[in-house]
Amino acid sequence: MFYLTEVEDFVRVEPRLFGLPTIEAIEKQLNETYAEYYDKELGKVIFVVEVLEVKEGVIIPGDGAAYYNSKFKLLTWKPELQELVHGKISEITSFGAFIDMGVMRGMIHISQTMDDYVSFSKANSLLGKASKRNLKQGDFCLARIVAISHKGDEPKIGLTMRQPGLGKLEWIKEDKSKRQKEAVKIIKAEEKAVKGKKK
């Protein structure tokens, strides 16, 4: 889920940025500091939205950098359990698929790709035995976050597409079309039964 977060912190501005106006130097330093930043509580920082306030700076002897107590806004994305995510299949493996969600990558175990027996094909795709549906690199999907592990620098995100309304976008359209056709058949059958009773 995306969040707009206000942060107050001391920003360490390196001496190479001293020639710039203070707010611009702080903005550049924040963009460098948060370029690949992830925190369990904050999430993945996408970018620094704006610097709201800058107080007097202090220089610590022996460091050479200036420290400014600053308030700023960050746009972050924090994975949440049960959240629906759109993504593109970036890699297929024998044990599942990786989805690029734009901000991070998630992994779908082969057993969670579709409601079918799934095997890894020689064409580097995942193939459903009964449905003949296949999942390959470049496919766009809708999945649900079912697991988040915070071991390491970035979280490991576990996804599923085995629930109704999830999966490859083409599958979702096909399923919706089938349900609509079945609903029309039921309505016609009910109308026919009602007409038969009236006679």
Q: What is the pLDDT of residues 85-120, one digit of tens each?
A: 999 999 999 999 999 999 999 999 999 999 899 999
Q: Which domain holds residue 58?
A: 2-77
Give the CA-trace dihedral at 39, 41, 43, 48, to 10 degrees: -80
- Type of residue found at 73: K
pLDDT in tens, 30-88: 999 998 899 888 899 999 999 999 999 898 888 889 999 999 999 999 999 999 999 99
What are the tokens at 30? Answer: 């924040």
Residues 33 and 114 in one domain: no
Residue 6 falls inside a structural domain: yes
Residues 93 and 65 in one domain: no
Work out whether strand 126-128 and strand 118-120 pair parallel, antiparallel, or are unpaired.
Answer: antiparallel
pLDDT of 198 reads 66
Query: For the domain that residue 63 is a member of, what is the CATH number?
Result: 3.30.1490.120
Q: Let me know how long the chain is.
A: 199
Residue 89 falls inside a structural domain: yes
Residue 193 falls inside a structural domain: no
Residues 119 and 34 in one domain: no
Written as one string, the DSSP assignment of 149-163 is E--SSS-EEEEE--S
Residues 89 and 38 in one domain: no
Residue 39 falls inside a structural domain: yes
Residues 110 and 135 in one domain: yes
Residue 47 falls inside a structural domain: yes
Indicate the number of domains in the chain. 2
**Other C-beta atoms within 10 Å of 88: how many?**
14
pTM attached to this predicted model: 0.78
Best CA proximity match to 136, nearest among 107, 174, 161, 168:
168
Residues 27 and 93 in one domain: no
pLDDT in tens, 130-179: 989 999 999 999 999 999 998 877 889 999 999 889 999 999 998 899 88
